[in-house]
Amino acid sequence: MTASLDRADIGVEGATDRSPPPPAEGADPFIVAIDGYEGPLDLLLALARDQKVDLLQISIQALADQYLGFIRRAQFAEIEFAAEYLVMAAWLAYLKSRLLLPAADPTEAADGEEMAAALQARLAQLDVMQAAAAALRLRPRLGVHFFPRGAATAQEPRPAPGPVRADLSGLIAAYAAVLKARAQRQPLTLEAGDWASIEQAIARIRRSLGDAPGWESLMRYLPAETMALLREGRLAGRSQLAATLAATLELAKEGVLALRQARPFGPIFVKALRTAQEPE
């Protein structure tokens, strides 16, 4: 049972796996696609590969020209997406000028060479990592090529409670869950103002009570705009409804009216017991 890298596992097809698609040949040959690239360094690496020489020997001047040419024809969907590519373009143009122009000061020329060498090293490093990613992708993978035990089953008796197992990743994930849940918990907030007072509701009911004999729906005692507010789901409507109900309960206690509700959540009816136009 060896898990060491088998060369057969990472066939040459892997090399295509890591490369972004070549610049798409669209209708307009002067526009190239930037979508396939993971940032300017990735684009630069793809262009460098086209030179087909060791990355540490690559011509940085030629590479800079290729890159600048590519960027000139590129179409960017978003400006902030373009920015990082343009920063690289500016830097390459600067580097190129450093390499091309005879330097007044010999240390300046050396600086240019150093910058070029550093870029070559960076590209070589990224190249290795992209190859490593491709090699990883080609490995047999849990859940894709092989599978874990479907269910942990031991014969009875079940293990007695013992020490518990936990690890740091679990702890961090748990804390992240707490913070997330906390951020999502909305404190109860109420719209300011617009609250109906019970006193007003009592006064309103006293005014209209007894206009009609017999049982009447509680709804008749609501202010005119309440139904519209309720339909819109506004808290003000519910407040008026609640205030009106509380007012009828208060008035029932005073013996001014009687209330009737046949079943839970059923309609509520009001009946005047005596004329209550004038306050007691």
Residues 11-50 that bind another protein (CB under 8 A): 11-12, 14-15, 18, 20, 35-36, 38-42, 44, 48-49
User: Do 260 and 244 form a contact (C-beta atoms < 8 A)?
Assistant: no
Closest CA to 120 of 54, 37, 47: 54
- Count of residues near another protein by CB under 8 A: 92
For 59, counting Cβ atoms within 10 Å of its Cβ (0-12 exposed, 13-18 middle, 19+ buried), the class is middle
Judged by CB under 8 A, the chain residues 85 through 124 that form the site for another protein are: 122
Q: Residue 68 or 131: which CB sits closer to another protein? A: 131
Q: How far apart are CA 258 and CA 214, in angstroms?
A: 10
What are the beta bridge partners of residue 261?
A: 268
Judged by CB under 8 A, the chain residues 61 through 80 that form the site for another protein are: none
**Residue 271, token pair as written in the block:** 């009946």
Interface residue with another protein, options 33, 51, 103, 198 (CB under 8 A): 51
User: Do 145 and 3 form a contact (C-beta atoms < 8 A)?
Assistant: no
Q: Residue 182 or 253: which CB sits closer to another protein? A: 182
Interface residue with another protein, options 77, 104, 164, 192 (CB under 8 A): 164
User: Do 256 and 271 form a contact (C-beta atoms < 8 A)?
Assistant: no
Interface residue with another protein, options 22, 26, 69, 140 (CB under 8 A): 140
Instruction: Report if residue 158 touches another protein, rule: CB under 8 A.
Output: yes
Neighbouring residues of 214: CB distance < 8 A, sequence distance ≥ 6? 271
Find the shortest distance in angstroms from Cβ 56 to another protein.
8
Interface residue with another protein, options 102, 148, 187, 264 (CB under 8 A): 148
Interface residue with another protein, options 90, 129, 228, 235 (CB under 8 A): 129
**Phi, psi at 261, each rounded to 5°:** -135, 120
Judged by CB under 8 A, the chain residues 207 through 266 that form the site for another protein are: none
Instruction: Report if residue 171 touches another protein, rule: CB under 8 A.
Output: yes
Q: Residue 88 or 205: which CB sits closer to another protein? A: 88
Interface residue with another protein, options 180, 207, 220, 260 (CB under 8 A): 180
* Angle at CA of residue 49, ends 94 and 138, nearest 5°: 130
